[in-house]
Amino acid sequence: MNASLPVSAPVSALLTLSLTLTACGHAPEARTAAPSPALAALAAAGEPVLNELYYDAPGTDAGTFIELKGPAGKSLSGYTLTAFDTAGTAYRTLTLSGTIPASGYFVVAQDSTVPNRSVVNVGADLNNGSGSLRLLKSGTVIDAVAYGTPTSGRGEGSPAPTTGAGSALARVPDGTDTDTNSVDFRVQVATPGAANGGSGGIAKKVLFDLTKAEDAGNADWRIDGAYSDYAAALRELGYAVSSVTGTAITSTTLSGASVLVIPEPQAPFSDAERAAIQTFVQNGGGVFLITDHRVSDRNNNGWDSPEVFNGWDGSTPGSVSTAYQASLDSDSVFGLGASFNSSFSDPVYTATPLTSHPILSGVSSAGVYVGTSVDVLRGTALMGTGGKTYLGVNTVGAGRVAMWGDSSTFGDNTSSDGSTGSYNNWPNLSNAALGKNVVRWLAGDL
């Protein structure tokens, strides 16, 4: 799990790369059609398999990899990897050497940013889009995977799906081979040198809070309502997504979770809840605070989301128990506050990156539909406009916290009854990437 794991021998002694083009989806030139050997020897006992491909990183490809799974200590002498374009023509061959580590995972990394890498070689950056990859031993095909819609696939059975930028194609469960790529592989968050999702590994849990009336009025920020598309996108990355129901968040509620999402809460947090959430973050959890504008009291109890995050403002309701006055106290506890200086009359904004950060990979802008700005007291301002911040992040203890200023950005505003509101003009590819990237960063996967 050490991202700075050294390569034990010169790369040139471990991998010999023969290539006819650079990666990142460019069409090859001067290619020679490769033979199509029979696939009778696939998944033979004791042989490694292609376990995970991460070939399309957001923006300029970096950190891509090819992962094999096989018996620990097995020599890879005589094994090669051959990549094919969508037409089924070979454009790259990597000659392997060395042995499979004790973990059972052998990771061929594009660069030194890939954790748990076994060797580094730029040839691990495969073509984006549709294609195929084969693992061969002395010219005999040992395993193969095709993905997307290649005109001539070199895989097993029907092809696996394409991933899109920022996700990996992973065999789930690890190492299982039914000889049908569409069955064996799924799109998930990249896990180089570690177990994939599903029954072959433990999927990280992402919880969406519903204890604070997040579905009150016209909000409906439920994973089976307005946030159904957001939840589906996270599940496609391999996360286990569920709701927190009941009346309170406790340490038991958060046990085993990686990320807690709190979208536009409408009721205050107690001192005990704040302590449980703070401990969760200090111990390595991630919390995504999604606020909205002032004067957005959906259930008419006197609390809007900025007040729930920052604490009672002394106005309505006329009196609040001392156990609830501080509510989450996010500005003091986490260094990120929902500004009290925004109002319902604020116009629509387009927030843009203010700095470089992994969360911003593939994100050029995101809509803020009458939201609130974020006061970054500690941490980093990531997106904003007009001198205001609309996305801020901070590291607290062993965990991470992010705050975004508008609840509508990450949902299609389709209510659980099927009706659709006015905010569905904002969700787009940039916003979808932003929402996924925030959770991946909070979970430690980005």
pLDDT of residue 189: 79
Parse the chain into domains and list their residue ranges.
11-199, 205-442
pLDDT of residue 44: 59
Which region among 278-282, 382-386, 411-415 has the lowest average model confidence (pLDDT)?
Answer: 411-415
Q: Does 23 have pLDDT greater than 60?
A: no
Q: For residue 234, name the pLDDT band (cuts at 50, 70, 90).
A: confident
- Helix or strand run (H / E) with residue 330: helix 330-334
Q: For residue 27, name the pLDDT band (cuts at 50, 70, 90).
A: very low
How far apart are alpha carbons 72 and 372 in whole angstroms? 53
pLDDT of residue 232: 81
Which region among 14-18, 81-85, 383-387 has the lowest average model confidence (pLDDT)?
Answer: 14-18
- Helix or strand run (H / E) with residue 259: strand 257-263
Q: What would the CATH number be for the domain defined by 205-442?
A: 3.40.50.880
Where do the DSSP E strands lie in 110-163? 119-120, 131-137, 140-147
Which region among 71-80, 149-158, 196-205, 212-221 has the lowest average model confidence (pLDDT)?
Answer: 196-205
The alpha-carbon radius of gyration of the chain (Å, integer) is 24
Chain CA centroid to CA 281, Å: 19
Alpha-carbon distance values, 72 to 75, 176, 366 (Å): 9, 16, 46
Strand order in the sheet with 65-69: 119-120, 105-109, 65-69, 49-54, 168-171, 185-188
Closest CA to 221 of 267, 263, 269: 263
Q: For residue 29, name the pLDDT band (cuts at 50, 70, 90).
A: very low
172-203 pLDDT per residue, tens:
888 888 889 988 888 887 889 988 875 444 56
Q: Does 17 have pLDDT greater than 50?
A: no
Mean pLDDT for all residues in the chain: 83
pLDDT of residue 35: 33
319-347 pLDDT per residue, tens:
999 999 999 999 999 999 999 887 667 67
300-323 pLDDT per residue, tens:
999 999 999 999 999 999 999 999
pLDDT of residue 220: 85
Q: What are phi and psi of 188, to 5 degrees?
A: -155, 175
How far apart are alpha carbons 140 and 121 in whole angstroms? 23
94-143 pLDDT per residue, tens:
999 999 999 999 999 999 989 899 999 999 999 988 999 999 999 999 99
pLDDT of residue 15: 41
Q: What are phi and psi of 223, to 5 degrees?
A: -75, -10
Give the number of other CB atoms < 10 A from CB of residue 191. Answer: 23
Between 366 and 374, the higher pLDDT residue: 374
Q: Which fold has domain 11-199?
A: Immunoglobulin-like (2.60.40)
379-403 pLDDT per residue, tens:
999 999 999 999 999 999 999 999 9
